[in-house]
Amino acid sequence: MSGKRTFTMIKPDAVQNGYMGAILNDIIAGGFRVVAMKYTRLTPEKAGEFYAVHRERPFYGELVEYMSSGPIVAAVLEKDNAVESFRKLIGATDPQKAEEGTIRRKYAKSIAANAIHGSDSDENAAIEAAFFFSKLEIFE
Protein backbone atom coordinates (compact mmCIF):
# COMPACT_ATOMS: atom_id res chain seq x y z
CA MET A 1 0.00 0.00 0.00
CA SER A 2 1.25 3.52 -0.77
CA GLY A 3 1.98 5.84 2.13
CA LYS A 4 0.85 9.35 2.94
CA ARG A 5 4.22 11.05 3.46
CA THR A 6 7.12 12.13 1.32
CA PHE A 7 10.27 14.19 1.83
CA THR A 8 11.43 17.17 -0.23
CA MET A 9 14.23 19.71 -0.44
CA ILE A 10 14.02 23.00 -2.30
CA LYS A 11 17.55 22.94 -3.67
CA PRO A 12 20.19 25.73 -3.55
CA ASP A 13 19.56 27.00 -7.11
CA ALA A 14 15.83 27.50 -6.47
CA VAL A 15 16.43 29.29 -3.14
CA GLN A 16 19.17 31.41 -4.75
CA ASN A 17 16.94 32.34 -7.70
CA GLY A 18 14.08 33.47 -5.44
CA TYR A 19 11.68 30.60 -6.14
CA MET A 20 11.25 29.38 -2.56
CA GLY A 21 7.83 31.03 -2.11
CA ALA A 22 6.52 30.08 -5.56
CA ILE A 23 7.55 26.45 -5.09
CA LEU A 24 5.97 26.21 -1.64
CA ASN A 25 2.84 27.70 -3.15
CA ASP A 26 2.78 25.04 -5.90
CA ILE A 27 3.30 22.30 -3.30
CA ILE A 28 0.41 23.52 -1.13
CA ALA A 29 -1.82 24.19 -4.16
CA GLY A 30 -1.01 20.61 -5.22
CA GLY A 31 -2.80 19.37 -2.11
CA PHE A 32 0.19 18.64 0.12
CA ARG A 33 0.19 19.52 3.81
CA VAL A 34 3.52 20.59 5.34
CA VAL A 35 4.09 18.50 8.49
CA ALA A 36 7.74 19.56 9.04
CA MET A 37 9.91 22.29 7.53
CA LYS A 38 13.44 23.65 8.03
CA TYR A 39 15.56 26.35 6.32
CA THR A 40 19.05 24.94 6.61
CA ARG A 41 22.17 23.89 4.74
CA LEU A 42 24.00 20.66 4.04
CA THR A 43 27.72 20.41 4.73
CA PRO A 44 29.59 18.53 1.97
CA GLU A 45 29.83 15.57 4.39
CA LYS A 46 26.06 15.55 4.99
CA ALA A 47 25.28 15.99 1.29
CA GLY A 48 27.58 13.06 0.51
CA GLU A 49 25.78 10.95 3.09
CA PHE A 50 22.32 11.95 1.82
CA TYR A 51 23.23 11.00 -1.76
CA ALA A 52 25.37 7.97 -0.85
CA VAL A 53 23.33 5.73 -3.22
CA HIS A 54 24.77 7.78 -6.11
CA ARG A 55 28.38 7.40 -4.95
CA GLU A 56 29.41 5.48 -8.08
CA ARG A 57 27.66 7.82 -10.53
CA PRO A 58 29.90 10.19 -12.56
CA PHE A 59 28.04 13.27 -11.30
CA TYR A 60 28.37 12.43 -7.57
CA GLY A 61 31.13 14.98 -6.83
CA GLU A 62 29.30 17.73 -8.68
CA LEU A 63 26.05 16.84 -6.92
CA VAL A 64 27.61 16.95 -3.43
CA GLU A 65 29.33 20.28 -4.15
CA TYR A 66 26.15 21.80 -5.55
CA MET A 67 23.86 20.55 -2.77
CA SER A 68 26.17 22.08 -0.13
CA SER A 69 26.60 25.39 -2.01
CA GLY A 70 23.83 27.31 -0.24
CA PRO A 71 20.70 27.19 1.88
CA ILE A 72 17.92 24.71 1.19
CA VAL A 73 14.42 24.11 2.51
CA ALA A 74 13.83 20.58 3.82
CA ALA A 75 10.25 19.48 4.41
CA VAL A 76 8.02 16.51 5.10
CA LEU A 77 4.77 16.54 3.14
CA GLU A 78 1.51 14.69 3.59
CA LYS A 79 -1.03 13.61 0.99
CA ASP A 80 -2.60 10.31 -0.10
CA ASN A 81 -0.15 8.42 -2.32
CA ALA A 82 2.40 11.12 -1.42
CA VAL A 83 5.57 9.76 -3.07
CA GLU A 84 4.07 9.13 -6.50
CA SER A 85 1.86 12.22 -6.45
CA PHE A 86 4.83 14.44 -5.54
CA ARG A 87 7.10 12.96 -8.25
CA LYS A 88 4.35 13.87 -10.69
CA LEU A 89 4.19 17.44 -9.36
CA ILE A 90 7.97 17.98 -9.67
CA GLY A 91 8.46 16.29 -13.08
CA ALA A 92 11.38 14.44 -14.65
CA THR A 93 14.96 14.78 -13.33
CA ASP A 94 15.97 16.68 -16.47
CA PRO A 95 13.86 19.87 -16.53
CA GLN A 96 13.90 19.87 -20.33
CA LYS A 97 12.14 16.50 -20.25
CA ALA A 98 9.76 17.48 -17.44
CA GLU A 99 6.13 18.04 -18.36
CA GLU A 100 4.75 21.56 -18.78
CA GLY A 101 3.53 22.96 -15.46
CA THR A 102 5.76 20.81 -13.27
CA ILE A 103 8.02 22.45 -10.69
CA ARG A 104 11.24 21.40 -12.42
CA ARG A 105 9.98 22.58 -15.80
CA LYS A 106 9.02 25.95 -14.32
CA TYR A 107 11.95 26.65 -12.01
CA ALA A 108 14.97 24.51 -12.98
CA LYS A 109 17.59 25.18 -15.63
CA SER A 110 19.76 22.03 -15.64
CA ILE A 111 19.71 18.34 -14.76
CA ALA A 112 22.14 18.95 -11.87
CA ALA A 113 20.57 22.11 -10.45
CA ASN A 114 16.99 20.91 -10.85
CA ALA A 115 15.26 23.00 -8.15
CA ILE A 116 13.74 20.27 -6.00
CA HIS A 117 14.12 16.79 -4.53
CA GLY A 118 11.37 14.22 -4.09
CA SER A 119 11.71 10.82 -2.43
CA ASP A 120 11.43 7.81 -4.75
CA SER A 121 9.80 5.33 -2.33
CA ASP A 122 7.95 5.21 0.98
CA GLU A 123 10.98 3.57 2.56
CA ASN A 124 13.36 6.31 1.37
CA ALA A 125 10.87 9.03 2.34
CA ALA A 126 11.03 7.79 5.95
CA ILE A 127 14.84 7.52 5.89
CA GLU A 128 15.24 11.00 4.36
CA ALA A 129 12.75 12.62 6.76
CA ALA A 130 14.69 11.12 9.69
CA PHE A 131 17.93 12.52 8.21
CA PHE A 132 16.64 16.07 8.85
CA PHE A 133 13.94 15.83 11.52
CA SER A 134 13.46 14.25 14.91
CA LYS A 135 10.08 12.63 15.62
CA LEU A 136 9.03 15.65 17.71
CA GLU A 137 9.64 17.99 14.77
CA ILE A 138 7.19 16.12 12.52
CA PHE A 139 3.57 17.02 13.24
CA GLU A 140 0.55 14.76 13.06
Interface contacts to ligand IDP, rule CB under 6 A: 54, 59, 62-63, 93, 111-112, 114, 117, 120
* Nearest by Cα to 79 from 121, 35, 45: 35
50 vs 133, beta carbon nearer ligand IDP: 50
Asked if 68 contacts 44 with a C-beta cutoff of 8 angstroms, the reply is yes
88 vs 139, beta carbon nearer ligand IDP: 88
Asked if 87 contacts 117 with a C-beta cutoff of 8 angstroms, the reply is no
38 vs 57, beta carbon nearer Mg ion: 57
Amino acid present at 136: L
* Nearest by Cα to 72 from 8, 120, 136: 8
Q: Which of 79, 104, 105, 117 is catalytic?
A: 117
Per the annotation, the verdict on 117 as an active-site residue is yes
Q: Does 120 bind Mg ion (CB under 5 A)?
A: yes
- Any idea which residues carry the catalytic annotation? 117
